[in-house]
Amino acid sequence: MPGYWLCKSEPDVYSIDDLRRDKVTGWEGVRNYQARNFMRDGMQPGDRVLVYHSNAEPTGVAGIAEVAGAAKADPTQFDPKSEYHDPKSTREAPRWMMRELRFVERFARVVTLEELKACKALGAMAALQKGNRLSVTPVTKAEFDAVVRMAK
DNA sequence: GCCAACGTTGGC
DNA sequence: GCCAACGTTGGC
């Protein structure tokens, strides 16, 4: 049985349209330990991912991706030119991990944050809790299905 | 641009 | 180990 997740991205940086074009992308740049642990330890190939657009107009869930492979070291942590460079990380013991995500679906319309908040079935969804800033959060099957239903 | 909320860092 | 200072996220 697959797991379910929500991953945030600023569409100015990387959007569901970019993922549709690329088909598969390395989900780089996660620099929070809890989010990293979800990516590294929680995600399994085949898990479904709600792709969420933050700092956008509108903000909300824009489509679906799936986890495409094993956790790997995020290469940007070793790149001095990258804004995600981490001089304290080593190749022997990489601090930050990433996953490849494969495009599955772009919703015909964004399910907006306002709609998500108004949906009773999503009252406990981690990404919607007050103060939550994690870019990767777990989602239940019921929550995932509810969001997909709202997109139709 | 503001600001609430939270995470990280580093001095002690 | 505490906690103040600072940085980041992300909605508005």
What CATH number does the domain containing A14 carry? 3.10.590.10
Q: What is the pLDDT of residue A29?
A: 94
Which pairing describes strands A48-53 and A4-9: parallel, antiparallel, or unpaired? parallel
Is A32 within 7 A of strand B by CB distance? yes
Q: How many domains does chain A have?
A: 1
pLDDT exceeds 90 at position A1? no
Residues A8 and A125: beta-carbon distance below 8 Å = no
pLDDT band at A56 (very low <50, low <70, confident <90, very high): very high
Compute the distance between CA of residue A103 and CA of residue A135 in angstroms, rounded to an integer: 18
> Domain containing A45: what range?
4-151
Q: What is the pLDDT of residue A58?
A: 93
Q: Which nucleotide is nearest to A112 (CA to C1')?
A: C11
Q: Is the pLDDT of residue A53 over 90?
A: yes
Asked if strand C comes closer than 7 Å to A54 Cβ, the answer is yes
